[in-house]
Amino acid sequence: MTDAALSRTSAAEPPSLYRAVPAVLGLAKLVLALATVAPLLFMLSVTFKNQNEMFTMNLIPEKPTLANLTYVFTQVNFLRYLWNTFFVATTVTVVALFFHSMAGYALARLRFPGRDAIFLAMFSTFLVSLPVIIVPLFILVKALGLLNSYAGLIIPSIFNAFGIFLLRQFYLNVPREIEEAAVIDGAGYWRIYWSIILPLSRPMLAALAILFFLANWNAFLWPLTITSDENLRVVQVAVASFQGQYTASWNYIMAASTVVALPTVIVFIIFQRQIMESIKTSGLK
């Protein structure tokens, strides 16, 4: 820890001027952090401003109004869009975690021919990003008759090597003895997976569930491409299309943005430790 080391050295050195350094640095960091979140505070502030007040510099609206939010929920079918997004994100998360933990378990704990080749093949899809394959994927999904359907929104989003990889790593570190007892008791593989492996990986699954849900809540490109039916619209697409409909009515657009951003920000405030920890560890290991 360089920082810790440094502050200790500067404290050990005599001049009292250096004493002020940590305080000044702390203040500077705080100012920088506040500047980072300022655009989001601005969005929140405009949500409660009326159109005339929008571009004033005051962060607290002079005459706070709920009109923008009411507009979003009454003039536009926003509840429907929220429900669609929630339904898709939740389904993808649950199904993906189920499949990924199954695959991760087999790839880490079971021995069968071709296992490493299968893992390598799965892992290589890591390099495939959506924009690169969106044309063939669109054609494929269209051929399967999934255009403009929940299935089209959900199914392709389930399969992602990232989750398999992390769960496999996790299962590799589970001690063998835990399974051995179950094997002696005559449990089959499904039983071992369901009653031993799955409960053991609860913290890992929880962290991944948050990440998957967030990623799917914020997904834009795929829903934009695969749906044109208004009833299937997700919030991200809805907000983006607001822009065209309400040019210059930034107060409505910011109100809708706040509604879309709030759930993920709340999830973050509750689970910040888990989210940041899982990203930190998924980086390299």
Interactions with other proteins, residue window 97-156 (CB under 8 A):
99-100, 102-103, 105-107, 110-113, 115, 118, 121-122, 125, 127-140, 155-156
Pick the closer one to other proteins by CB: 130 or 178.
Answer: 130
CB 202 to other proteins: min, Å: 19
DSSP state, residue 219: -
**Runs of H (alpha helix) within the chain:** 2-12, 20-47, 67-74, 78-109, 115-124, 130-143, 150-158, 161-172, 176-184, 189-192, 198-200, 202-217, 221-226, 235-245, 250-282
Minimum Å gap between C-beta 125 and other proteins is: 4
How far is CA 139 from each of CA 98, 146, 175, 226, 234, rounded to the nearest angstrom? 27, 10, 45, 10, 21
Q: Work out whether 279 is an interface residue with other proteins (CB under 8 A).
A: yes
Distance in Å, CB of 16 to other proteins, minimum? 19
Is residue 173 at the binding interface for other proteins, with CB under 8 A as the rule?
no
Determine, following the binding rule CB under 8 A, whether residue 246 of this chain makes contact with other proteins: no
Measured between alpha carbons, how far is 63 from 127 in angstroms, rounded to an integer? 51
30, 79, 178, 181: which one contacts other proteins (CB under 8 A)? 30
Q: Does 40 bind other proteins (CB under 8 A)?
A: yes
Asked if 196 interacts with other proteins (CB under 8 A), we say no
Segment lying near other proteins (by CB under 8 A), choices 60-68, 169-177, 198-206, 260-268: 260-268
Nearer to other proteins, 31 or 79 (CB): 31
Residues of span 58-97 touching other proteins by CB under 8 A: none
Cβ–Cβ under 8 Å, residues 164 and 104:
yes
Output the CA angle 109-93-213, nearest 5 degrees. Answer: 125
Q: Minimum distance between the CB of residue 145 and other proteins, rounded to whole angstroms?
A: 13
The residues near 249 (Cβ < 8 Å, ≥ 6 apart) are: 51
Is 16 near other proteins (CB under 8 A)?
no
CA 200 and chain centroid, separation = 23
φ and ψ at residue 147, rounded to 5 degrees:
-65, 140
Q: Between 90 and 264, name the residue whose CB sits nearer to other proteins.
A: 264
Nearer to other proteins, 66 or 130 (CB): 130
What residues numbered 174-193 form the site for other proteins, per CB under 8 A?
Answer: 183, 186-191, 193
Amino acid sitting at position 104: G
